[in-house]
Amino acid sequence: MRRARVAYAGAVHEAMPHRDGLQLADGRVLAEDVVVWLPPIEPLGTILALGLNYAEHAKELAKELTTSAKDEPLVFLKGPNALVGHRGLTRRPSGVSLMHYECELAVVIGRSAKNVRRADAMAHVAGYTVANDYAIRDYLENYYRPNLRVKNRDGCTAIGPWLVDAADVPEPGALELSTHVNGKLVQHGNTRDLVTGIAELIEYLSSFMTLGPGDVILTGTPEGVVDVQPGDEVVCEIEGIGRLVNTIVGDEAFGR
């Protein structure tokens, strides 16, 4: 099952796919472009994101690293204001030299998880969605520890459109990912290349913190980072999960 959250006619609705666009829970069928797409999960829980979780992406950024990768996953937190829905706008601040997309499989927790064994971890997953976690490389510290301006800016992480039930994704560890900028393929990968897989991530995170329903884990991005500019349309797609569209805008769109 696929579910979305949209705003229409002054209210928030749950929606499902329909051949003519999408269907609201009350039965109305609407075109995709007449609603405001919200993150498919209400961002009330913890958002955890992985850095350098694809080996080739780590090599791609090797010149920026001043020390070797750690044995433990590199995890950082994001606040709810970082999220923006499908067809949303993400600001590129003036004066920066490199801003790039990061297509990622997002894992949504469905059951509380504490000290979960790897063999039992997938039973705690509610479903999956697509995320595009933009980074501005100018703002990075000298070792890859993303600071607030890199990964916690308002609207810097597009997510959606659909939350797909875990039962409908039998092989989340073997999904094709791709990113197109203005119709050109710029990034391609597969979740089989994750350094730390989904079950292992849940085991690791739940060993020191409790994961709750609605928490989201962004699992990292493959290689292929290209600078994006205002006006660019960025499309991230994950096999069986969905196609997430996002547009880059300049400061003027936000009155800056």
Q: Residue 166's Cα: distance from chain center in Å?
A: 16
Domain positions in the chain are 1-38, 39-254
Q: Mean pLDDT across the chain, nearest whole number?
A: 92
Q: Could you report the per-residue pLDDT of 134-186, keeping only the tens digit for each? A: 999 888 765 555 577 888 999 999 999 999 999 999 999 999 999 999 999 99
Q: To which H or E segment does residue 59 belong?
A: helix 55-60
Domain 39-254 has CATH 3.90.850.10: yes
Nearest one of 238, 252, 236 to 84, comparing CA atoms:
236
pLDDT at 151: 87
1-38 and 39-254 share one CATH topology?
no
Structure tokens of 47? 């958002």
pLDDT at 66: 47
User: Are 78 and 49 a contacting pair, CB within 8 Å?
Assistant: yes
pTM of the model: 0.92
Q: How far is CA 38 from CA 41, 89, 119, 222, in A?
A: 8, 12, 33, 25
The residues of the chain scoring below 50 in pLDDT are: 66-69
Nearest one of 223, 117, 238, 120 to 173, comparing CA atoms:
238
Task: Give the number of C-alpha atoms closer than 13 A to the C-alpha of residue 26, restricted to the C-beta side.
Answer: 8
Q: How far is CA 109 from CA 20, 94, 115, 129, 222, in A?
A: 30, 36, 14, 11, 22
1-38: CATH number: 2.30.30.370
pLDDT at 148: 77
pLDDT at 145: 56
